[in-house]
Amino acid sequence: SPEILIWDVRSGKVTRTLTAGGVTRALVYSPDGRYLATSGDGGTIILWDAATGAEIRQFVGHGTTVERALAFSHDGRYLASGSMDRTARIWEVATGEQIRQFSGYTDGIASVAFAPDNSRLLIVTADGTVQMTYTRLQDAIADLCGRLSEDLDPATRARYAITDPGPTCAGTEKP
């Protein structure tokens, strides 16, 4: 059924019905209880106002099912999602903007979870692969720069087949 029923556990009665438009595969409340995020077969994630049941926005980008992999950051500012399209994404809740995408996995994403300080994202795939990655690109670059012990100038980028002309190591603190 495309309906999501919200129950009052004290009274045992349905207090709200949300119409998701398809089968719901995952749902999660924000830490403050203001929002409910749901996902299903089409890859679209819907953000709902938990108090009114009104749809606030949709997060569109996954190519297929977001089965179980949904998680709010501990401060509620971000939503992580993982899909059978073999990508994980981080979205800004306030705007719906996708701010990070993680790809290159050999199987669909089964679960995602933020570290307690929101600095890293745990990604688990259906084949059992587990990866911990930085949520902020600048933290990942600082870590990489520390490991390389050199700058990410154009020559270094070419040597490591990095095609993104993004930030360099200049000005980053090495861990």
Query: What is the rounded CA–CA span in Å between residue 75 and residue 77?
Result: 6
Q: What is the pLDDT of residue 174?
A: 41
Helix (H, G, I), strand (E, B) or coil at 141: helix
Average pLDDT score over the chain: 87
| Distance from the Cα of residue 39 to its chain's centroid | 12
Residue 129 corresponds to which amino acid? Answer: T
- With 0-12 / 13-18 / 19 or more C-beta atoms within 10 angstroms meaning exposed / middle / buried, residue 94 is exposed
Query: What is the rounded CA–CA span in Å between residue 14 and residue 90?
Result: 32
Q: Does residue 1 surpass a pLDDT of 70? A: no
> pLDDT tens digit string along 85-138?
999 999 999 999 999 999 989 999 999 999 999 999 999 999 999 999 888 877
CB 22 within 8 A of CB 42: yes
Q: What is the pLDDT of residue 68?
A: 87
- With 0-12 / 13-18 / 19 or more C-beta atoms within 10 angstroms meaning exposed / middle / buried, residue 78 is buried
Query: What is the rounded CA–CA span in Å between residue 12 and residue 102?
Result: 41
Please give the average per-residue pLDDT across 56-63, as a whole number: 92
DSSP-assigned letter for residue 155? H
Residue 115 corresponds to which amino acid? Answer: A
Q: Does residue 58 surpass a pLDDT of 90? A: yes
Q: What is the pLDDT of residue 172?
A: 55
CB 112 within 8 A of CB 71: yes
SS (H, E, C) 96-159: CCEEEEECCCCCCEEEEEECCCCCEEEEEECCCCEEEEECCHHHHHHHHHHHHCCCCCHHHHHH
Higher pLDDT, residue 161 or 23: 23
Q: What is the pLDDT of residue 175?
A: 39
pTM of the complete model: 0.81
